[in-house]
Structures are given as structure tokens and as C-alpha cells.
Amino acid sequence: MTGDTGTRDVLAIMELLLTAEIFNRNEELDINDLSPRCREFFGAGSGGNREVKRPLTVSEGAIRKVFETPDSARQAVRANPFVGYDEFGQRLSLPSLDTAAGWFLKKGGKERIGANPVLAYFFDGKDGFEVSYRETRARNRRFEDSREYVEGRVSRIIAESEEMREARDLIIISAPDEVEYSLAKLVCTPRQEEMIKKIAVALEHRDYLKRHGIYEFGRLLFVGPPGTGKTSLALAMSQELHMPVLEVRLAMVTSQYLGETSKNIDRIFDLAKKLSPCILFIDEFDFVAKTRVSDDHGAMKRAVNMLLKNIDQISFVKNGVLLIGATNHPRILDEAAWRRFDEVVEFPLPDQAMRQAILEKVAATIECDCDFADLAARTEGFSGSDLRMMMKEAVISALMEDRHRVDPVDIEQGLLRAEERNVIRAGR
């Protein structure tokens, strides 16, 4: 075994051994001290259970299965005098933890320590080495943000109730780790940024707000033209606040058996409360207004009234459910719908400065010869979605000529496609 690859494989195995030994010795460490890779290796979190069974063990069979390291790496680890080996169970161990830790650090394990909370816990405060256990743990992806954890909770909820199973079929549930959007990728208005901070503060101080009876908080209405980021921000807040998001499209909830629609709405709100803390995102909220104005079917009207009643009764402080409604057509919402929300957040078409910021973020990882300030000035009236679509078309234009660099001619192609699309949309 030679070279960087061999050293990397040996360090990967030693990291597992150190993690197991340190974790087993310290009962205060929990699943969020294990890195996602270590959780996978040790089978922690199976079925969405956050309890970790001790002792953690490292077998050669598990190493081969998960890491596919060469035999030479495993043999090199076993050859170390501070590594124990149980022939019967083919298990590796570290009878001399301090010696193994010193060797690991000397052989280049510093970067791994900074990414592994269990190792950071051990090395924090050691002479001659600087690492913060608190900061390392804060950077580690939370188990509660994973799909496995969220799906485990959902499975337990729906196993107890046929009604909850029916509600599950009507919504899209995403764990924070699954959401592609993050605040770092979005360009928000100052008002939107303020709203996010307020929600984060309320989440941190829910018990205080509850003690003082401050419940009218956390029912947000996002309003603005299509493509201005209403859905993107709702999803990004899932990542930022570490809460799963439940997406509801009201038109989909309407059952062909109208008498079931009211029950469906009730069930969705009940599921959200059981899964809290979470975000309940109701898209196409103008469906409510259209129904109240144009539909004279009694069952449908009862369903809409049931929705408004549920909104009345939901509370971020009491129930841990952050309700977000989104509409492209705020003018058609009547007073009964408006007054249900504690806060209305506007999503305007981006101004020139915002358009430039959006373009720069979209193109951040792309090799691009483009004057973003000039392009922002030429795209007045474009939504954020229009700008992203324009850049996508520019990238495709370059790839069609077998180039990875986006040139001005590609930008012009993208701009042309976006303008054509807007003309077609306006003529509908």
C-alpha cells in the first residue's frame, strides 16, 4: 500500500475506530455527534430512531461492505501495535486510545477531527491542538434533518390511524436535508430577511411566548407574481429552521367525493400538528377565493370554511406549526381570508440591484463571460424564475457547441428564449 490513497484509507478506518471508542466511553454523546458517514457505518438512526445502541463496534466485514477499502489498508491498520483484533468476531478495537489518537493526529487526521464531533469532543482542549467541539457539532448535519428521521416519525404516526394515512397521500413531505433551496442561494428583500429572523427567534423562545399567552404568530401569507420565489423561500426556511415542510396544493385536496374534502383538510392539519415542529405550506391559496366567489356547491363552501377554521386554530407557538399560504392573486382574496394571517410578506418583481444579485448567484459556479450589471439593466420586468431560465438556456447554448464557458452570444440566446416565453405567456 503506497501513496495518498493508501494513507487516506488507513485514516478512514482509524477514524471509525476512534469514533467507536470515544463514543462508547462517553454517555453524553448522542446521534448528532456522529457524522452522517459514521451513522451509516454503525447503523445509527435505523427506522428513524435517534437512540444509539452502545457499544459501537468495527468489524472487517462492515468495513469491506461500506467503505470498499483494499485489504492492504485493513492489514496496515491491524499491524499497528495499539490496535486490537478479535479473530472470532473479526472486530478491531483500540485498547490504547491515547496512543491511537496521537498517531492519528500525527499521520494527518486534523481535517477529519474538524469534521467529526466525536473526535472534536476528545481533542478539544488538548495541548497543541485547536478544535472546538461546540462549533464542530453545530456544523454537523443533524439527524433530525434527515429523510430517515422524518419518514420514521411519519410512519409511526400513520401506523396508528387510517385517517393519518389518507392525509399522508394528499401532501408532499420533505425533510430539511432533501430541500434543494437554501437561503444562501436566494436573494431576499430586507422585509423577507426580517421575517425569517423573527420566526427563528420565536422558535427559540416558544416556551417564553407560550407562558405569556402570545399565540398570534406564525401564520404567513406570501403574495406576489409567479416566479418571484414564494415556494423557494418556503422550502429554504425548512433548511434554515431545521423543520420538515409539508406542501399542500388545495386543488389536489379537493376530492371527487366532495363530502370528503372537509375531512381531508382536517386530517392534513392534524398530521401537521403531530409532526411538529414543521412548516405547513399551502400553495395556490387563491383557490379559496375563487371557490368562495364562483362555486355555489354547498359541500365545497363547507370545505373552504373548514380550511379557514383550521387556520384560525393553528398556532406556531402552541402547536409548533408554521403556516405559510402563497398566492399569485392577492386582490381576489376576501377579508375573511386576509384576516386569518398574522403577517403578509410581499414578493415583488426584483429591481435592478436584485436582478444583478440573482444573476451572479445563478452563475456563481459557471465559467461565464458576462456583464451582469448590463444584463440586469436589460431584464426589467423579469422574475427570478425568468432569470434562472435565461441562464439555463445560455448554458445549454454553450454545451450544444461543446463549450463549458458561457459567452455573450449564449447570453443573448438565453435572453431571446426568455423573452419569447414571456410574450407567449402574455398572449394567453
Chain segment 113-153, per-residue pLDDT in tens:
999 999 999 999 887 789 999 999 999 999 999 999 999 99
Rounded to whole angstroms, the Cα distance separating 140 from 183 reads 18
- CB neighbours of residue 98 within 10 Å: 11
Give the model's pLDDT for residue 1: 39
More confident of the two residues 251 and 291: 251
Q: Please, where are the H alpha helices in 169-314?
A: 190-204, 206-211, 230-241, 250-253, 258-275, 286-294, 298-313
DSSP letter for 219, please.
E
Mean local confidence (pLDDT), 361-366: 92
Rounded to whole angstroms, the Cα distance separating 185 from 142 reads 20
More confident of the two residues 374 and 7: 374
AA letter at 67: F
**Per residue in 273-315, pLDDT tens?**
999 999 999 988 877 655 555 555 666 777 788 888 999 999 9
Rounded to whole angstroms, the Cα distance separating 16 from 69 reads 13
* Assigned C-alpha cell, 127: 495541548
What domains can be seen in the chain, in order of their start residue?
3-141 (no CATH), 145-346 (3.40.50.300), 352-426 (1.10.8.60)
| Contact call for residues 279 and 172 (beta carbons, < 8 A) | no
R_g over Cα of the chain: 27
Cα angle at 176 between 43 and 342, to 5 degrees? 145
- CB neighbours of residue 148 within 10 Å: 17
Rounded to whole angstroms, the Cα distance separating 269 from 272 reads 5
Rounded to whole angstroms, the Cα distance separating 291 from 59 reads 62
394 band by pLDDT with thresholds 50, 70 and 90: very high
Rounded to whole angstroms, the Cα distance separating 139 from 119 reads 14
| Contact call for residues 166 and 342 (beta carbons, < 8 A) | no
Q: In the chain, helix, strand, coil percent, each to 5?
A: 60, 10, 30
Give the model's pLDDT for residue 2: 42
DSSP letter for 290, please.
H
Beta-bridge mates of residue 174: 245
Rounded to whole angstroms, the Cα distance separating 417 from 428 reads 17
- CB neighbours of residue 286 within 10 Å: 20
**Per residue in 306-347, pLDDT tens?**
888 999 999 999 999 999 999 988 887 778 788 889 999 999
Give the model's pLDDT for residue 9: 87
| Contact call for residues 54 and 159 (beta carbons, < 8 A) | no
Rounded to whole angstroms, the Cα distance separating 177 from 379 reads 33
Instruction: Write down the residue that cell numbers 431545521 correspond to.
Output: 242
Q: Which helix (H) or strand (E) holds 326?
A: strand 321-327
| Contact call for residues 266 and 306 (beta carbons, < 8 A) | yes
Task: Tell whether the model's pLDDT for residue 156 goes beyond 70.
Answer: yes
Mean local confidence (pLDDT), 60-78: 80
Instruction: Write down the residue that cell numbers 455573450 correspond to.
Output: 408
* Assigned C-alpha cell, 247: 406542501
More confident of the two residues 386 and 297: 386
Classify strands 343-346 and 321-327 as parallel, antiparallel or unpaired: unpaired
pLDDT more than 90, % of the chain: 69
Mean local confidence (pLDDT), 198-217: 92
For residue 353, what are the CA distances in angstroms to 188, 356, 359, 372, 388?
Answer: 11, 5, 10, 10, 16
Count the residues in the chain.
428
Average pLDDT of the chain, as a whole number: 89
- Write the CB contacts of 348 (distance below 8 Å, at least 6 apart in sequence): 189, 224, 225, 228
Q: Which of 233, 294, 262, 291 lies closest to 170, judged by CA?
A: 262
Rounded to whole angstroms, the Cα distance separating 304 from 294 reads 12
Instruction: Write down the residue that cell numbers 463549450 correspond to.
Output: 403
11 band by pLDDT with thresholds 50, 70 and 90: very high
Task: Give SS3 for 259.
Answer: helix
Task: Tell whether the model's pLDDT for residue 428 goes beyond 60.
Answer: no
Give the model's pLDDT for residue 194: 95
Mean local confidence (pLDDT), 358-380: 93
Give the model's pLDDT for residue 289: 59
Give the model's pLDDT for residue 386: 94
Q: Which of 154, 185, 194, 190 lies closest to 171, judged by CA?
A: 154
pLDDT more than 70, % of the chain: 93
Rounded to whole angstroms, the Cα distance separating 84 from 9 reads 18
